[in-house]
Amino acid sequence: MSTAVQLTIEPKVLFAYPSARDFTKILKTLSEIVDEAAFQVNGSGVHVKALDPSRIAMMIVDLPPEAFQEFNVKDELSIGLAVSNLTKILKNLKKGDRVVIAANEEYVEIVVEGASGARRYKFRNLSVLSEEIPELNPQYDVEALVLASPLRTSLKELTDITATVGISAAQDVLTFFDYDAKRSSFRLSTASGNILSLTIKKEVTAAFDSEYLSKFLEILSLSNQAEIKYGSEAPLNIVIEFSGGKAVYYLAAKI
């Protein structure tokens, strides 16, 4: 396994992500959902599913080999990381820093490389119990492709002031609002250009927990666009693509 990075372990897998900052945003979002995560690494890339303990929210991240500057796999491997602790360590990252992750059955070595040199961290490869998560195939009433920045701004403003965020759809407009007090609302529309496409099979209003919505906000900054879907009998589904990778977030409606 050839790489310029000096390692203290003999890795079975090694991958280098071009932006340490962006990779840390992925880790931080995962840490909002679970304390520990199992990253499945094989020839098709790096894959992780995180289901929060209350089973209200789930996030799936898929990073194919082309998302990495280097991607070497000798054998399929599960990498168990305490993502909640890892995000506290990976701080003060600069633009241009990249992250290299090497692992075997015993250890995970993480190297952050930048203009000022390299920082190295070594952890035990944790045995993370991954719950079997059934494939979801919900029937959505509303499907939209929106600009990620106004979506993130709208949700950030609302999750700061209310415990419940409502979403409604009518004609060419998606409205995000303070479900509890009905005092604040944000409208995204095709006319304003914030919505790139919108399909409404049935006009539906649904409510979602603000705390869980806020967990996905940081990773939204990695993409220019977001696909958002929901329905009267379906969870909220937000999908973004970034640097060759993809993140999917499911959130159950608040009853």
Whole-angstrom Cα distance, residue 25 to residue 85? 14
Give the residues across from 92 on adjacent strands.
none
What tokens were used for 233?
A: 């009998």
Q: 140 exposed, middle or buried (CB, 10 Å; 0-12, 13-18, 19+)?
A: buried
Map out the domains of the chain with their CATH numbers: 13-124 (3.10.150.10), 142-251 (3.70.10.10)
Over residues 92-145, the pLDDT tens digits come to 899 999 999 999 999 999 999 998 889 999 999 999 987 677 677 899 999 999
Nearest to 204 by CA among 229, 225, 222: 229
Residue 2 pLDDT > 70: no
Q: In what order do the strands lie in the sheet with 225-231?
A: 77-81, 37-42, 45-51, 57-63, 245-251, 234-242, 225-231, 142-147, 195-200
**Mean pLDDT across 185-203:** 97
> Whats the size of the chain, residue-wise?
255
